Amino acid sequence: MHAARHSLAAVGHRGLAFPLGLLALAALAALALSVAVGSVTVTPAELWEVALGGGDALSRTLVLELRVPRALSAFATGGLLALAGALMQVLLRNPLADPYVLGLSGGAAVGALAAMLAGLGGLVISGSAFAGALASTLLVFGLAHGTGSWTPARLLLTGVVVAAGWGAVVTLMLAVSPAERLPGMLYWLMGDLSYARTPGYALALLLGVCLLAFPLGRSLNVLARGALQAAALGVAVRPLEWAIYVAASLLTAMAVTTAGSIGFVGLVVPHMLRLVLGNDQRLILPACALAGGTLLMLADALARTLIAPEQLPVGVITALLGVPTFLYLLYRSR
Amino acid sequence: MSRLEARELVIDVPGRRDGRSLDLSLEPGQVWGVLGPNGAGKTTLLHTLAGLRAPRRGTLRLDGESLSALSRRRVARALGLVFQERQDGFPATVRETALIGRHPWLSPWQMEGGEDLKLAEAALERLDVAHLAERLVSTLSGGERQRLAIATVLTQAPAIWLADEPTNHLDLHHQTAVMALLAEQARAGSAVMLCLHDLNLAARWCDQVLLLYPDGEACWGPRDAMLVPGALERLYGQRLATAEIDGAPVFVPVR
Amino acid sequence: MRAGLGLWAGLLLLAVGLPARAEVCATDDAGREVCLPAPAARIAALSPGATELVYAAGAGDKVVAVVDYSDYPPAAQEVPSLGSHTRIDMERLVALRPALVIGWVTGNPPEQLETIEALGVPVFYVEPRSFAGVASAIERLGTLAGTADAANREARRFRDGMAEIRERYADRAPVRVFYQVWDEPLMTINDAHLIGRVLTACGGVNVFGDLERLVPRIGDASVLDADPEAILAGGMGEENRDWLSHWEQYPSLTAVTRDNLFFVPPSLIQRPTPRLLEGSRLFCEKLEDARARR
């Protein structure tokens, strides 16, 4: 395995092409699969018709209005979460960090549940979740900054405590909310893609951050070895850390806004890829976007069809798929 | 070739009075040894000279330009630092680690090329760790890590070397090899400054010496003027016996 | 050219004539006017209550999709289910091509109802909060389904039945009642809730009627403190006294000493449907029993 690890540095851009190409193929296959399966059967012939711009009205609605937007939302959300997780791990120099470690999902949950509690729907819930996530980001950063400068350890500790605080608020809101609103709230908390219909913004953000991350990739590699070492090697550490923090927060806020707080993708995907591909951020970050998106598309296809017509929250599936895969890779890599 | 000048420099050691401000210049070809007991501020001085910490007062100039006004990238092309402490949160191989020395020389869009890899391989060879190139850093011994850190700076190829106890963890042979490497860098036009605990290495390999006292006092100058038993005994609070072997003074603590 | 003119004139007549004859409109419980070009021949009902109301409106044969627990009338159990009302299987819904979807304001996820509308299927929200609301919902559904005659008949039967109950029990001695909706957590209803209204109609006094929330969460202590004369409860399933036996551990309760612990099948009382009439009669009889044990 280690023989493959340093190939990237040795062979330059070509070293990126093979693993990323493979992951892109996997993503396309997963996309095709999630468009092909559903609780209602659309035959391959009908699918082909629809792909060519024809097909009957029902097949067109099923494929173009329901499956494609949902599959793309799943891809975008998974990619955003995995990318945000990888960035947070570098920012905090802590392999255990995930996109939610700084209390982002808690803030988003409080925002979303407050909107649901007020009986508001759709866009207001999304907007409120986004606002909650950003508020939490600013709160954690402000508190960690305190009167002096922040360190990763201090940021992490502040985030963990703020997250615990949000958790308490969420529990309180669940306790006082009317019974008929509880199912919707619980689905949101578990992560659910059933109302994601507009993947455009999430996909654009994902692509943008991936493109931005490439030129910053080597600086991130150096930063992963510690702030002082990075500064001595010519990295402008503080601006870079700010950029990572803002980017990871935006990515997570967008993901949470699209599909609620889906667990495990942000922690497990970067690790799985590091075990196989090494720790060069120029490869890992785009690989995270592709692999995270693929994982979530597959998980959502299962969530939609496993016990149809009942719809499972996709967060349950990501955990059920992600945990054993991760444990297996970890076991094999010793 | 580069020179680093400190003017009326007071390093910021929390809770210590200013003491004596430093006015010195690291010139191409010089090897400076910084001596002082634990807590005298040797590491703080090195980090301050590298621009990683702000001084309490005074100015630093790299080739005539104010150090704090230069970009980190520009500084890193001229000045390399061997750290005493290293952290490794994420797994990385020895070769990858040496290669990051090329970071300041590559544009953001550039990947490390064959030339960079050759430089890194040569540095690993020079530090006698090439056979470990595939190993994960976390599996190395302390001495091997120390040599890898020096190989990384060698790959960086700075004109000014600041090395914090570069002989830590090294066996006798590798201590000598590392000192010889640094002396060779100086002969080729680099300026070198080392923090050392071993008086005898300083006596043997350095031409300039800076003595740092715990109270902030300091004195510096040519080696022979500095390495006198009286000053050293006051520096460490330790009586010394002196002899001359192989053309250099040797200091041994008295029981 | 002349033939073309004639064709245009014919089309114009059709365009003016047809929709005016067939279009049906009704205002839903969210206050929106919903119009269909023609009475709906295929209806999806997204709550068990909505299913009952559509059947009550005489449009049972037009129901093409229901959700889990749509068990009444028994014929509804044969209709394809879209899963839980909290997460509808959208694909199956679309594949069943409904012309009208009956939504549940507080039960269905708003995002999914919005999506259904975005796909061009009109959504009619139903959530009756009064006896008059139940009757009117039946009538409005009858209008949209083109079964107004049957619907109006059923609505009249329901209105008259409820009026008769109210009349009969208006002057009966008040009975202090606690109605238990759920056990863990313990939940009841206030006076504004439909069950609260049934209770009032039967001459009962809801001991928690003044609480602010429609379905308040309370504790055993509140019940002991209120000391109701009768406790009425539903439970899991149709014949299950588990929730009631819980109260027997408190012999100080008046309801326990007088043996006024009554089971009322939840499906008769907890759904805003015409079966409420049957449930109300049962409810009132229980309170009569309680009065008899004084």
Same domain, C33 and C148: yes
- The dihedral sign for the CA sequence C97, C99, C101, C102: negative
Return d(Cα C274, Cα C162) in angstroms, integer.
Answer: 10
A60 touching B (Cβ < 8 Å): no
> Where is the domain boundary, C97, C128, C155?
C155
- What does the pLDDT look like over B208-226, one tens digit per residue? 999 999 999 999 999 999 9
Q: Which domains does chain A have, with CATH numbers?
A: 2-332 (1.10.3470.10)
Contacts of B81 in chain A (CB under 8 A): 232
Task: Return the structure tokens found at A3.
Answer: 């023989």
Q: Does the distance separating the beta carbons of B95 and A236 come in below 8 Å?
A: no
User: Is the peptide bond between C266 and the residue preceding it cis, with omega within 30 degrees of 0?
Assistant: no
In a domain, C273, yes or no: yes
> Where is the domain boundary, C155, C182, C204?
C155
Same domain, C190 and C140: no
In a domain, B135, yes or no: no
- Bridge-partner residues for B24, per DSSP? B6
List the Cα angle C238/C242/C243 in 5-degree steps. Answer: 95
Backbone angles phi, psi at C24, to 5 degrees: -125, 145
Nearest to C87 among A121, A175, A194 (CB): A194
Residues whose CB falls within 8 Å of the CB of residue B75, separated by 6 or more in sequence, listed in order: A234, B50, B51, B62, B67
User: Is the peptide bond between C185 and the residue preceding it cis, with omega within 30 degrees of 0?
Assistant: yes
Same domain, C83 and C125: yes
Q: Is B243 exposed, middle or buried (0-12, 13-18, 19+ CB in 10 A)?
A: exposed
pTM of this prediction?
0.86
Residues whose CB falls within 8 Å of the CB of residue A206, separated by 6 or more in sequence, listed in order: A76, A79, A80, A83, A251, A289, A293
Q: Provide the residue type at C46 as one letter.
A: L
Domain count, chain C: 2
Nearest Cα to Cα of residue C134 among C285, C273, C278, C294: C273
Query: CA-CA distances (angstroms) from residue C246 to B83, B93, C178, C231?
Result: 71, 66, 14, 11
Domain count, chain B: 1
In a domain, C5, yes or no: no
In a domain, B162, yes or no: yes
C212 touching A (Cβ < 8 Å): no
Task: Return the structure tokens found at C237.
Answer: 């399933």
- Bridge-partner residues for C263, per DSSP? C233
Q: Does the distance separating the beta carbons of B83 and A232 come in below 8 Å?
A: yes
Same domain, C137 and C227: no
What is the number of residues in chain B?
A: 255
Look at residue B32 and give its three-state secondary structure: strand
In a domain, C77, yes or no: yes
Find out whether C235 and C241 touch, Cβ atoms under 8 Å: yes
The chain-wide mean pLDDT, for chain C, equals 89
CATH number at residue C32: 3.40.50.1980
Nearest to B93 among A6, A13, A94 (CB): A6
pLDDT above 50: residue A90: yes
- What does the pLDDT look like over C234-288, one tens digit per residue? 876 666 678 888 899 999 999 999 999 999 888 888 889 999 999 999 999 999 9
Return d(Cα A260, Cα A116) in angstroms, integer.
Answer: 13
Residue of A nearest to B133 (CA): A6
> Where is the domain boundary, C155, C184, C204?
C155
In a domain, B127, yes or no: no
Is the ipTM, as predicted for this complex, more than 0.85? yes
Return d(Cα A78, Cα A295) in angstroms, integer.
Answer: 7
The alpha-carbon gap from B160 to the nearest alpha carbon of chain A, in Å, equals 12
Q: What is the pLDDT of residue A251?
A: 92
Residue of C nearest to A303 (CA): C89
Q: Does the distance separating the beta carbons of C92 and A308 come in below 8 Å?
A: yes
- H or E segment at C267? helix C266-269
Cβ neighbour number for residue C69 with a 10 Å cutoff: 14
DSSP state string for A274-331:
HHHH-S-HHHHHHHHHHHHHHHHHHHHHHHHHTTTTS---HHHHHHHHHHHHHHHHHH
In a domain, B109, yes or no: no
pLDDT above 90: residue A312: no
Same domain, C76 and C101: yes
Q: Does the distance separating the beta carbons of A39 and C92 come in below 8 Å?
A: yes
In a domain, C161, yes or no: no
A329 touching B (Cβ < 8 Å): no
Same domain, C143 and C177: no
Same domain, C272 and C231: yes
Same domain, C88 and C124: yes
In a domain, C4, yes or no: no
* Chains B and C make contact, 3+ CB pairs within 8 Å: no
CATH number at residue B77: 3.40.50.300
In a domain, B61, yes or no: yes
Nearest to A184 among C89, C94, C109 (CB): C109
Cα C43 to its chain centre, rounded Å, is 17
Buried b (16+ CB within 10 A) or exposed e, C27-48: ebbeeeebebeebbbebbbbbb
In a domain, B128, yes or no: no
The tens-digit pLDDT sequence of chain C (294 residues) is: 444 555 555 555 454 444 445 899 999 999 999 999 999 999 999 999 999 999 999 999 999 999 999 998 999 999 999 998 888 999 999 999 999 999 998 888 888 888 899 999 999 999 998 999 999 999 999 999 999 999 999 999 999 999 999 999 989 999 999 999 888 889 999 999 999 999 999 999 999 999 988 888 899 999 999 999 999 998 766 666 788 888 999 999 999 999 999 998 888 888 899 999 999 999 999 999 999 998
Residue-range definition of the domain harbouring residue B39: 4-89+158-253
In a domain, B122, yes or no: no
In a domain, B10, yes or no: yes
Find out whether B127 and B46 touch, Cβ atoms under 8 Å: no
Q: How far apart are the first and last CA of chain C?
A: 91
The alpha-carbon gap from C215 to the nearest alpha carbon of chain A, in Å, equals 7
When scoring A229, A282, A333 by the number of chain B Cβ atoms within 10 A, the one with the most, hence best to mutate, is A229
Residue-range definition of the domain harbouring residue C215: 172-292
Residue of B nearest to A4 (CA): B134
- H or E segment at C93? helix C90-95
Q: Does the distance separating the beta carbons of C95 and A308 come in below 8 Å?
A: no
List residues of A whose CB lies inside 8 A of any C CB: 38-40, 58, 61-62, 65-67, 119, 121-122, 125, 175, 178-181, 183-184, 187, 192, 194-195, 197, 304, 308-311
